[in-house]
Structure 1
Amino acid sequence: MGCADVVAVQYPGRQDRRGERALTSVAGLVGGVREALRGWDDLPLVLFGHSMGAVVAFELARVLRGEGAQPLGLIVSGRRSAAVCGDGRVHVLGDDALVEEVRVLSGTDPGLLGDREVLSMVLPALRADFEAVETYRYVPDAAGGVPLSCPLTVFTGSADPRVGVQEAMAWRELTEGVFSLRVFPGGHFYLGGQVAEVCEAVAENIRVFTGTRVQASAGG
């Protein structure tokens, strides 16, 4: 039975990095993650990203491919294709409008959204996230080719208010590798209600990407 080490990304501006300034561009986030991963350059890598993290993972995969170290596979979740641009302006709106958008996505305890002290701590990072994803624009490769050749899997929630199934399917245009889509019941943060199922789906994809058996675990 094989195993995989999970390396979680912690962006600046939150939790144990709350004293650092939050980044407001996908390029900046990608650069930080790339530097953090240099200690694992000699190991096979599978990338997973949810929501904004899906775009970060995709652009990181492009950087790695350019360095001759493309990941074994990419799993993106809760995000329409990077090539589908939006016109969101939540990041320039007032705090109440930003909180309402977070409420629509249903990823935060409603009680916390009404706590002004808590909001004062988390809103700067949330606003930075919205700015990063809303100002992101996919730039095709200069040579005009497909940006990736690794397998690409998309997870999405059946009732995600911001990602339609066709928008999720559009990721298939961004790789020459095997493409697959899995729709889970739930909204944008479908993961929280079915952690074991999502972990097993990730493990199954790693098994396919690597040709080895990987044990899924929903533990911390």
Structure 2
Amino acid sequence: MNSTWFRRFTIPGNGPLLVCFPHAGGSATVYRNLAQALPAEFDVVCVQYPGRQDRYLEAPFTDLTLLAEAAAEELARVLDADPGRPYALFGHSMGSLVAFETARLLARGPQRGPQRLFLSGRGAPDAHSTAHFGRYDDDDVLAEVRGLGGTDQSMLDAPDIMEMALPALRADYRALGRYEWREGEPLTAAMTVLVGDSDPMVTVEEAGTWRAHSRGDVTVKVFPGGHFYLFDHLRDIAETVTEGLLSGTASP
């Protein structure tokens, strides 16, 4: 796979393709452990947004719709190279929104849409607005990150590290603040919605709002923990993803 957009942390298998979209400020490496916990038959590909790690010198997107369009264009090339292979998208927090918009674009194009979306740590876009992020300055962004946890908090107090991380964080929050929901047909893809039971950003009830956006089976999986619950339940998350990818329609 010759693309600046995708990273693999395991040897690709011949089974289903799973494409993982990071949260705001995140990079492809946040999914390294999940990729390694999944069955070897899967081909796990992690999206590397511009403006971070080895793409640090590239300007990050400040428009989420344009980010999804670019990701969809790159992913379409991958799908063209292996037509007929089943695939699914996984996104956490902002990544859920990017994955969803990417799936909508692919479903409208010549490529087939994904068989399933795994949407973690946020509610549906028409029921869970991100407009308030548009009013955030750098201090607000850092306060939000501190409140959500999931990051080595000592990094937030390291000027050298934050000098490198802040531009991507700032751009991602700006993209979320500018995002406007555009109504469209529900996807045919099934959905597995994942949420922490004490997530300060999204309640279990709000996570269920994704049901209005799929004509397929929609399963809500609740895990103990906050916004970054998934890092504490890696085995359970891997089992949930495996079930969804292999069955096509995971049972509740």
Distance 1:109 1:91, change over 3 A: farther
Pick from 143, 168, 174: which aligns with 2:213? 174
Are 1:154 and 2:193 an aligned pair? yes
**Residues of 2 paired with 1:185 and 1:122: CA distance?**
28
What does 1:67-86 align with in structure 2 at a 5 Å threshold?
67-68=109-110, 69-86=112-129
Provide, for residues 81-128 of structure 1, a one-character-per-residue CA deviation record: whole Å limited to 9, x for no partner. 122242543454332221110001102111011111211111110011
Partner of 1:205: 244
Name the SS of the counterpart of 1:131 in structure 2.
helix
**Residues of 1 paired with 2:180 and 2:137: CA distance?**
23
Aligned length in residues: 207
Partner of 1:183: 222
Partner of 2:94: 52
What does 1:98-137 align with in structure 2 at a 5 Å threshold?
98-137=141-180
Identity of aligned residues (%): 42
**Residues of 2 paired with 1:167 and 1:80: CA distance?**
5
Q: Is the 8 A contact 1:149 1:176 kept in 2?
A: yes
C-alpha displacement of 1:150: 1.4
C-alpha displacement of 1:40: 2.3
RMSD: 1.8
**Residues of 2 paired with 1:76 and 1:173: CA distance?**
14
C-alpha displacement of 1:190: 0.7
| Worse overlay, 128-137 or 105-114 | 128-137
Name the SS of the counterpart of 1:6 in structure 2.
strand
Deviant stretches of 4+, over 6 Å: none
Distance 1:89 1:117, change over 3 A: farther
| 1:198 alignment partner AA | I
Q: Is the 8 A contact 1:91 1:128 kept in 2?
A: no
Provide, for residues 10-64 of structure 1, a one-character-per-residue CA deviation record: whole Å limited to 9, x for no partner. 0000011111001011112112211221122312211111111101111111111
Name the SS of the counterpart of 2:46 in structure 1.
coil
Task: Report the TM-score when normalising by structure 2.
Answer: 0.77
Q: Is the 8 A contact 1:25 1:132 kept in 2?
A: yes
C-alpha displacement of 1:200: 1.3
| Worse overlay, 150-159 or 1-10 | 1-10
| Worse overlay, 124-133 or 27-36 | 27-36
Pick from 87, 93, 106: which aligns with 1:64? 106
Task: Report the TM-score when normalising by structure 1.
Answer: 0.88
Partner of 1:96: 139
